[in-house]
Structure 1
Amino acid sequence: MIGELNIDDSYTSSLADTLNNFFNDLEEEIPTTAILNDDDIIKLIQEEIYEDEKINNDNNDSEEPALVFLDSAMKSLQNWMSFFEQQQISEFRVEDMEIFKRYLNLVKQFERKSQKQVSITNFF
C-alpha cells in the first residue's frame, strides 16, 4: 500500500516515510524483565492501587476539612462518652468524663439555638 503512493509529491513522500518508520518500530521486540506469575501480577496491582490512594489522600489533605453538623457532633460525642464509660483501665479517669459532659451540654445548647423559630418580622 505504501509502495503505491506517489513519492514524487513531497507530502506523500513524507507520509510514506512516517508510515515506514511506524511499521518498523512495531517489528522491534519490547524487552521484558521476567515472566510474571499470578502472585507477581497481584502484587503489582496492589502497589498501583496503593499509589493511587496515596495520591488521592495527598490531594484530599490540601482541601478544606468537611463541615461537621451539630447532630453529627452530638452523636459522636455521645458515642465517645459511652465508650469512655465502658473502659476499665486507669488511663480513662472518671474525672475526665465531666469535661465531655460539659462539651455535650454546649453542643446541645447550640442545637437548641439553631432550632429556635425566627420571627417573620426579622426578615423585613
Structure 2
Amino acid sequence: MQYETGEDINKNKLNLKQAIDYISDAWGAIDDEVVINCWKKTGILPAVENEEIIGASEFQDEENLLENDDLDTLLDEFSREDDYSATLTSAMVDFFNNIDQTIATEEALMDQQIVNLVQNENNIVENDQDDSDEEPSEISTQEAYNALKTWLSFFEQQESSDFDMKDIKIFKKYSKIINRILSDSKKQS
C-alpha cells in the first residue's frame, strides 16, 4: 500500500529499542482499574470485593516502598566500603534514575539536513504525480482467467478459518464466465 501511494516505507520502520519504548509507554498508560476489570471479565479468578482489591493494592505499594528502602540502605552500605564501591554505587544509582529517559537512537539532524529531506520528499511526490497520469494497460481476458485460476488454487489450499469455502463459489462463478468468454472468442476466430 505504501509503495503504491509513493510513501517512503522506511520512514515508518522502528528499531527494537523504539518498539520497546512504545510498548513500555503504552503499558504505562494503562490504569490499574482497567487491568483489574479485565481480569474480572475473564471469569477465571475467584470473585473478590473492591475493598479486598484496594487492600491488596495498598499492601503491594507498601511492599514496594519497603523494597526501595532496603535497596537504598544496601547501596548506602556498599558505597561506604571503599572508593571503588562508592563510584560503582554512584554509577548504578545514575543508571537506575535515568533508565526511563529516552535514548537517542539516531543522530540529530542539522537544519540544512532537514531542509534537504523536505525538498527531496517534495521532488519524489512531484515525480509520483507524473507517473499517475499514465493509463494502466488493459488486462486481456486470458490474463484475467489465468490470474483467477491461480487465486482459486491458492484459496483452496488455505487452512485458515479466514478463508470461508462458501465464498469460493463467487470466484468459481466468475471463472466460468471468463472461460465462456474465452471459448466464444476462440469460436469467432
TM-score (norm 2): 0.33
**Greater Cα radius of gyration, structure 1 or 2:** 1
TM-score (norm 1): 0.48
More helix by share: 2
